[in-house]
Amino acid sequence: MARTGMIISLKRFIHVLLPVALAIAWFLPVSAAASGAISQGFTTSDTAIPGTLMSLKSGSQNVAELAGTGNVTQLLGVTGDKPLIELGSGAQQVQVVVSGVTGAFVSDINGGVKTGDKITASPIAGIGMKAKTSTQIVGTAQSNLGDSQATERTVKDSTGKSQKVKIALIALQVNVTYYAVPQDKLGSVVPGFLLNFGSAIAGKDVSALRVLIGFFALLIGFAIVAIMLQSAIRSGIISIGRNPLAQTALRRSCLTFR
């Protein structure tokens, strides 16, 4: 009887528990893979440690270089350390994470970086910063710069003045795309074609308030011109009407008016 009970229990394990165990073993690796990073191999002559931002070198197809403000439009991603999936392998190649979460070096040049901030290339080669204007970004910050161990570095700004910046390694969701800064509250009131027209004339992004002021100034100018033109026409008609002999000329001018 005991032996028969053991056989029945073994059969239950094979028919019930074993499929469940196999299913768990199958789906666990898939869940882990979903959060992994995907990288692509590029050749480079720059020294790129894991976490540096990389851009595609101008005029090349598979050559990467350290990202900066000069090549921000060619952003590729962030150099990774043992990504889950590597696309391409070979000598003298650097693996650049093009999708997924990885560590990236960022600075506080544009202010402190917090979770959810968009990260773009900075004046320091290979180092990111918070995006404050519409530009190409490498991804979205997943942690705060202030929570990471930071190092200080002295750099010179556009005026040549030296300033200290903090650089730290934070988690970054890599997704290279163009980031458009959200418009202010007036942006939902002003028609889009007016914003585009104002930006096209100025050659740069123009705030909705300035576009609105310019539009009303243009309307006021048209109104003043219309009033002046109406006054001039009315005065001319009154002057001609006072002279009875000008009736024929007045009719002729009205018929031939274009």
Which of the residue ranges 74-78, 159-163, 238-242 would you say has the lowest mean pLDDT?
238-242
pLDDT tens digit sequence for 30-53: 233 334 688 888 988 888 889 999
> Residue 119: is its pLDDT beyond 60?
yes
pLDDT tens digit sequence for 82-102: 665 555 555 567 889 999 999
Residues 53, 141 contacting (CB under 8 angstroms):
no
Write down the pLDDT at residue 14: 40
Q: Which of 1.10.1370.30, 2.40.300.10, 3.20.20.70, 1.20.1740.10 would CATH assign to domain 38-181? A: 2.40.300.10
* pLDDT: which is higher, 221 or 213: 221
pTM for the structure as a whole? 0.57
Domain boundaries, the chain: 38-181, 186-255
pLDDT tens digit sequence for 144-166: 998 888 888 877 666 667 788 89
Where helices occur in the chain by DSSP H, the ranges are: 2-12, 18-34, 192-202, 208-241, 247-255
* pLDDT: which is higher, 197 or 128: 128
Q: Say how many CA atoms lie within 13 Å of 183 toward its Cβ.
A: 18
Distance, in Å, from the CA atom of 37 to the CA atom of 98, rounded to the nearest integer, reads 8
Instruction: For the chain, report the end-to-end CA distance as a whole number of angstroms.
Output: 115
Q: Name every residue whose Cβ is closer than 8 Å to that of residue 32 and which is 6 or more positions away in sequence.
A: none
